[in-house]
Amino acid sequence: MQWNLAGLPQLATILAKNNWTTVLGFNEPDQSHQANLTAQVAAAAWKQYFEPLHAKGIRLGSPVVSGSPAGTVWLQEFFSNCSGCHFDFMPLHWYGDGSKWIINYVDSMYAEFKMPIWITEVKRK
């Protein structure tokens, strides 16, 4: 996972050196204590650094937001600023109790964004 903007210019080199074929986007950019990026800044970085990876056959997971409603809004803004960008799947994080809540969250994110989902982090509260 590319956590934030730090080291982003070296991402392609690191992927090639390690023969990695998949990369996940920014970690909870909607949160000030995580990657802390605006959707506009993240989209510009995606176009510059992630899109060339797609052309080389690297699978791309979109930025992964927090499970809060603000995360969904952040993704909507990101995707509207990243028209023409490529995403192979959407990683999700979930913090909470009860299987029905995570199922509802996954269902709602799929209904909103229509892409395959990877659940990459789950923690009980």
Tell me, yes or no, whether 47 lies in a domain: yes
Distance CA 111, CA 114 (A): 6
Structure confidence by residue, pLDDT tens digits, 61-118: 999 999 889 999 999 999 999 999 999 999 999 888 888 889 999 999 999 999 999 9
Tell me, yes or no, whether 80 lies in a domain: yes
Tell me, yes or no, whether 118 lies in a domain: no
Q: What's the predicted TM-score (pTM) here?
A: 0.92
The residues, any chain, with a CB within 8 Å of residue 53's CB and separated by 6 or more, are 11, 12, 15, 23, 60
| CA-to-CA separations, 3 to 67, 104, 115, in angstroms, rounded | 17, 26, 21
Tell me, yes or no, whether 58 lies in a domain: yes
Tell me, yes or no, whether 122 lies in a domain: no
pLDDT on residue 20: 95
Q: Residue 109 CA to chain centroid, in angstroms? A: 13
Domain count, the chain: 1
Average pLDDT over residues 41-53: 98
Range of the domain at 6: 1-17+34-95
At residue 125, does pLDDT exceed 70? no
